[in-house]
Amino acid sequence: MPELPEVETVARQLHEAMQGLRISRSRVFDKKLSLPRGALGLTGRVINKVWRSGKQVVLSLDPGRSGCGPIWLVVHLRMTGRLIWCANGTLDRVGDKPRARWDCEQGGALFFCDTRRFGTLQVCQSEEEFLPARAIVDPTTRNFTMRWFRQALSGSSQPIKIWLMRQDRLVGLGNIYASEILYDCALSPLRPAGSLNEEELRELRASTRKILRRAIQHCGVTFSDFQDSRGEMGSYQVYLRVYGRAAGTCKRCGGSILRIVQAQRGTFYCPGCQK
């Protein structure tokens, strides 16, 4: 479920809560998940930093008493995954039973809950194992330049909405934000990616940055599945203009918002003003 702003929100909150804590116990309950044992064990390590890489939450773990090098615990939440920090070490306010949990020496525990069980855990010994390849750009960074964007889109006949969700080009955008960004800059989701002129490209880039920045400010979107690391809700959903509003009225032109299907995913847009 979570896209870049939701993952960013969770990572920031977990960083605030967990930086400097030492992991005293690591448990995985769901057999679909596995973590390596021995030298790569998490127990005794200190949480140096919690951050976002693409749509993944990354915990950088110092060696602690292990005498080994640093490692990274990398969590991809996919559709319904949640990382929830509980200062009292008990999972309340949450119906789900956890797939995994990590207790901290100083008290408190991190729970990984994930109704649909699509989420993944990874323990990495180097950043290369989980960082996006060089050619892949995070739209919140300064690498997201016009020069790169123009070059990346050129020649592509893929519909722009599908292209925006390509994690092998641009990391972080999913179904909600792709629809919202295209609405914001009044571009049709059906337009071939390579057909955008310079002006449209500029507006698409500006909208992408603007929508993501705003969503992060508001701690992301909340639907039934998403809660942040404190089990609280984001507030950005009240700002959604088209997503989930099929047959609703477009605030810009008064037209009717349409739901179509692209690559087996719902796309919401206003045919009246998105050209």
Partner DNA sequence: CTTTCAGCCTGGGCGC
Partner DNA sequence: TGCGCCCAGGCTGAAA
Catalytic residue list contains 16: no
Q: How far is CA 194 from the centre of its chain?
A: 26
Q: Which stretch binds DNA (CB under 7 A): 20-28, 85-93, 122-130, 170-178?
A: 170-178
Q: How far is CA 179 from the centre of its chain?
A: 15
The span from the CA of 18 to the CA of 182, in Å, is 36
**Cβ nearer to DNA, comparing 35 with 68:** 35
Q: Which of 2, 98, 159, 189 is catalytic?
A: 2
Q: Which of 214, 230, 252, 265 is catalytic?
A: 265
Q: Which listed residue (49, 78, 214, 230) binds DNA by CB under 7 A?
A: 78
Question: Phi first, then psi: what are they for 5, rounded to 5°?
Answer: -65, -35
> What's the sign of the alpha-carbon dihedral 237, 238, 240, 245?
positive
Q: How far is the CB of 66 from DNA (least distance, A)?
A: 29
Residue among 149, 120, 159 at smallest CA distance from 30: 120
Q: Which residue blocks in the chain are alpha helix, DSSP H?
A: 4-18, 146-153, 160-164, 175-184, 198-217
Whole-number CA gyration radius for the chain: 20
Q: How far is the CB of 65 from DNA (least distance, A)?
A: 34
Catalytic residue list contains 252: no
229 touches DNA (CB under 7 A): no
- Burial of 177 from C-beta contacts in 10 A (0-12 / 13-18 / 19+): buried
Q: Which listed residue (221, 242, 250, 258) binds DNA by CB under 7 A?
A: 221
- Binding residue count for DNA, defined by CB under 7 A: 33
55 touches DNA (CB under 7 A): yes
Structure tokens at 226: 């998403």
**What string marks each residue from 172 to 191 as x (binds DNA by CB under 7 A) or -?**
--xxx---------------
The span from the CA of 203 to the CA of 182, in Å, is 10
**Cβ nearer to DNA, comparing 45 with 161:** 161
Catalytic residue list contains 97: no
Q: How far is the CB of 267 from DNA (least distance, A)?
A: 9
87 touches DNA (CB under 7 A): no
Site for DNA in 17-36 (CB under 7 A): 32
**Cβ nearer to DNA, comparing 222 with 274:** 222
**Cβ nearer to DNA, comparing 38 with 261:** 261
65 touches DNA (CB under 7 A): no
> What's the sign of the alpha-carbon dihedral 32, 177, 170, 111?
negative
Helix and strand element counts for the chain (H, E): 5, 10
Catalytic residue list contains 147: no
Q: How far is the CB of 222 from DNA (least distance, A)?
A: 6
Please give the order of strands across the beta sheet that includes 71-76. Answer: 46-53, 56-62, 71-76, 120-124
93 touches DNA (CB under 7 A): no
The span from the CA of 86 to the CA of 75, in Å, is 18
Residues that bind DNA (CB under 7 A): 1-3, 6, 32, 54-55, 76, 78-79, 115-118, 156-158, 165, 167, 174-176, 220-226, 263-266
Q: Which residues are catalytic?
A: 2-3, 55, 265
